[in-house]
Amino acid sequence: MLIFSPTTIRSVNPQPLPYLSFSHSISLPLPLTSLPTPSKSPHFPSFHINCIDAAQPFDYESHLKNRYIQSTSLKIAIIGFGNFGQFLSKTFLRHHTLLAHSRTNYADLANHLGVSFYADPHDLFEQHPDVVLLSTSILSTETLLQKLPFQRLRRNTLFVDVLSVKEFPRNLFLKYLPPDFDILCTHPMFGPESGKTSWAGLPFVYDKVRIGDEESRIKRCDKFLDIFEKEGCRMVEMSCMEHDKYAAGSQFVTHTMGRVLEKFGLESSPINTKGYETLLNLVENTKGDSFDLYYGLFMYNQNALEQLERLDMAFESIKKDLFGRLHQVYRKQLFGDNNGEEEEFGSAVAWQWKFNRISIG
Ligand code: NAP
């Protein structure tokens, strides 16, 4: 902004051309020919030109703005831009710069969202992201890690995963990542269906497996965690091992029941109870997830098999309770109170007949 103000003459030296002094560092000699020479008219008020913040909106202020954005935002590269990767990116984009790479070419979709898509991981890593976030299927993680060109990244890049099992990626990261990289293992315990409208109150589990001591590295990790904290997630710090123990008993069982009920073929009716609505919601929540994801929960959580067997046993036990009581009722109806051997045999035949009818029906 230029301000022209009349001032009295301080020096009456006609020789040097008047200078425009900029408040920064530049002084330009300008041939202001239209202005009267001070020596010729000593009482004529001259113009002292004050330049305030000249060119600053494009320089200083934008520089400050950039520095502020840099200090609060991260450059995040998502690997695996499928269902969950896309879901996360929509929230990340509000405050961070996003890049992505995937086996499938999602360039158009990414472009539409405002994410820079790189079909080649070499090109992606040459952008030197602060954070590389792995959102690939559990099953493909190891093969993928073996192929990634880590040498193109900055030496202390932060690697994060969002896999639904935790000990498995933790061990792979420690095995394949260069020792200078930071490692944060996380599990946002919600998905595109359960976190559709808000993440508030939803659990986010994390384990700072390896974060360097330098302040910048600690801040970078905190900045990443802040994304979830600011969305209102319930932040739970726990070891990967603990996570897997709890998750097998809750998440794997939830997915299994959802899949069983989906196969069973639940249908909405005009007289749905609250409980039945809960079951319909469960099917809705789990049916969007790929079988790869479910199989990964089973295959790469060592506690899952035990939980599946417990479920099986619980189901059998309930069937036994039901049929056991039915057995007694039939016995009474058919044979009264007699407990002779012949009756025992007869009752067993009747029970078997009834059981077969129930099983077939
Ligand atoms: P997913 O079926 O577990 O994974 C799909 C992703 O894996 C896609 O990006 C896909 O790439 C990639 N992928 C699959 N096979 C691949 C291979 N052989 N090589 C390279 N990439 C491969 O489904 P998701 O729901 O998107 O889950 C992604 C990750 O997030 C999983 O680890 C999951 O456990 C975790 N997670 C999911 C949820 C959820 O609610 N969905 C919640 C929390 C955590 P392309 O699309 O390019 O083929």
DSSP string, 270-330: TT--HHHHHHHHHHHHHHTS-HHHHHHHHHT-TTHHHHHHHHHHHHHHHHHHHHHHHHHHH
Distance CA 71, CA 334 (A): 82
One-letter amino acid for residue 119 of the chain: A
Mutate to test the pocket of ligand 1, among 81, 84, 134, 294 (most ligand atoms within 8 A of CB): 84
pLDDT category at 51 given cuts 50, 70, 90 is: low
Lowest mean pLDDT: which of 4-8, 139-143, 353-357? 4-8
Does 138 sit in the ligand 1 pocket, CB within 6 Å?
yes
Q: Which atom of ligand 1 is nearest to the CA of 136?
A: 7
Distance CA 134, CA 226 (A): 18
Sort strands 182-188 and 203-210 into parallel, antiparallel or unpaired: antiparallel
Contact predicate 173/163, CB 8 Å: no
Mutate to test the pocket of ligand 1, among 136, 244, 289 (most ligand atoms within 8 A of CB): 136
How large is the average pLDDT for residues 179-185? 97
What sections of the chain are H helices per DSSP?
A: 60-72, 83-92, 107-113, 121-125, 141-147, 167-176, 215-230, 240-247, 253-264, 274-287, 291-299, 304-335, 341-360
Cβ neighbors of 334 (< 8 A, separation 6 or more) are 346, 347, 350
How large is the average pLDDT for residues 76-95? 97
Closest CA to 161 of 246, 149, 151, 140: 140
Does 97 sit in the ligand 1 pocket, CB within 6 Å?
no
Closest CA to 289 of 240, 252, 318: 252
Chain centroid offset of residue 118 CA: 19
Sort strands 27-29 and 19-21 into parallel, antiparallel or unpaired: antiparallel
Q: Which residue has the tokens 């969202």?
A: 113
Structure tokens at 240: 């990967």
pTM as predicted: 0.76
**Helix crossing, 274-287 with 253-264: angle to 10°?**
100
- Give distance in angstroms: CA of 17 to centre of ligand 1: 70
**pLDDT at residue 68, as a whole number:** 72
Provide the β-strand partners of residue 188.
204
Distance CA 162, CA 205 (A): 9
Q: Which residue has the tokens 């996380």?
A: 186
Sort strands 158-161 and 234-237 into parallel, antiparallel or unpaired: unpaired
Output the CA–CA distances (angstroms, integers) from residue 313 to 245, 247, 319, in the order listed: 19, 19, 10
Output the CA–CA distances (angstroms, integers) from residue 172 to 44, 128, 140, 144, 238, in the order listed: 82, 22, 12, 11, 18
Angle at CA of residue 263, ends 262 and 267, nearest 5° = 55
Does 164 sit in the ligand 1 pocket, CB within 6 Å?
yes
For the segment 14-27, what is each residue's pLDDT rounded down to a tens digit? 444 444 444 444 44
Distance CA 235, CA 203 (A): 6
Residue 91 burial class via C-beta count within 10 angstroms: exposed 0-12, middle 13-18, buried 19 and up: middle
Q: Which atom of ligand 1 is nearest to the CA of 106?
A: 47
**Helix crossing, 304-335 with 253-264: angle to 10°?**
50
For the segment 277-289, what is each residue's pLDDT rounded down to a tens digit? 999 999 999 998 9
How large is the average pLDDT for residues 298-317? 94
Does 104 sit in the ligand 1 pocket, CB within 6 Å?
yes
Tally of CA atoms within 13 A in the half-sphere of 230 that contains its CB: 11
Structure tokens at 71: 């200090």
* Greater pLDDT, 347 or 3: 347
pLDDT category at 53 given cuts 50, 70, 90 is: low
Nearest CA to ligand 1 atom 5: 137
pLDDT category at 180 given cuts 50, 70, 90 is: very high
**pLDDT at residue 305, as a whole number:** 94
Does 133 sit in the ligand 1 pocket, CB within 6 Å?
no
- Give distance in angstroms: CA of 191 to centre of ligand 1: 12
Angle at CA of residue 69, ends 197 and 202, nearest 5° = 25
What phi, psi does 39 have (nearest 5°)? -65, -30
For the segment 313-325, what is each residue's pLDDT rounded down to a tens digit? 999 999 999 998 8
Domains (ranges, CATH) in the chain? 2-51 (no CATH), 73-245 (3.40.50.720), 312-360 (no CATH)
Closest CA to 301 of 233, 253, 237: 253
